[in-house]
Amino acid sequence: MSGFGGAFAAAMVGVVFVVAMSSMASMTVSYMGLYQKLEAPTPDRVSISIDGGRIASGGTELLVNMTLLAGSDPMSLRDLARSDAFIVYSSGGDRVFERVGYGEGWRILAVTVGGQPELVSPIRGSSGMWDPGETIEMSVSPSMPVDAGSPWLFKFATAGGGVFSMTFGG
């Protein structure tokens, strides 16, 4: 009898072990799905007006003004930093297409409301919010000098999927 009881006990321990491992695997899969949902960008409720742009510094800098329109959700600096800028321009007669990211390719020079510095949740350093009605002046650094007088395209893509563009010059 003790042989049958020992085998039965070993089988029960095995079943409990398999059930416990299965539950842990299921919890891990559920946790990973939740983590991916939390990290995935959500669609924007953002509308941006690109108000103007010009070539500066002998073609080594593009200055662009963008306004977050009324009815849009405010954007944190973190969300802005996850956005991409794309530029298409001529340099030495060749057509150039570039993706420029926040920091190394584009940066915020100033944030204003009606031409005055913003006062509500200002963007400074690594924090702040871009609120509806505020205009961002940004500096975009192309990898090659932009030909003066030639048309150039600026496209801004937010992390949540909004895409806004305008062509300047020419």
Range of the domain at 34: 1-40
pLDDT grade for 41, boundaries at 50, 70 and 90: very low
Residues 3 and 73 in one domain: no
pLDDT value of position 105: 92
Distance CA(144)–CA(91), nearest Å, equals 6
CA atoms of 13 and 111, how far apart (whole Å): 65
| 62 and 34 together in one domain | no
Domain count across the chain? 2
pTM of the model: 0.71
Please write the tens of the pLDDT for every residue from 70-88.
988 999 888 899 999 999 9
* Distance separating alpha carbons of residues 156 and 163, to the nearest angstrom: 6
pLDDT of residue 68: 93
Phi and psi at residue 72, in whole multiples of 5°? -80, 155
Of 147, 56, 54, 141, the closest CA to residue 93 belongs to 147
Indicate whether 92 and 8 sit together in one domain: no
Q: What is the mean pLDDT of residues 59-68?
A: 95
Q: Do 21 and 103 share a domain, yes or no?
A: no
Question: Each residue of 100-155: pLDDT tens digit?
Answer: 999 889 999 989 988 887 766 677 666 788 999 999 999 999 999 999 989 999 99
Same domain, residue pair 141 and 96: yes
Q: What confidence category does residue 167 fall into, taking pLDDT thresholds of 50, 70 and 90?
A: very high
Do residue 102 and residue 118 come from a single domain? yes
CATH code, 139: 2.60.40
Are residues 60 and 36 part of one domain?
A: no
| 126 and 53 in a common domain | yes
d(CA 158, CA 14): 52
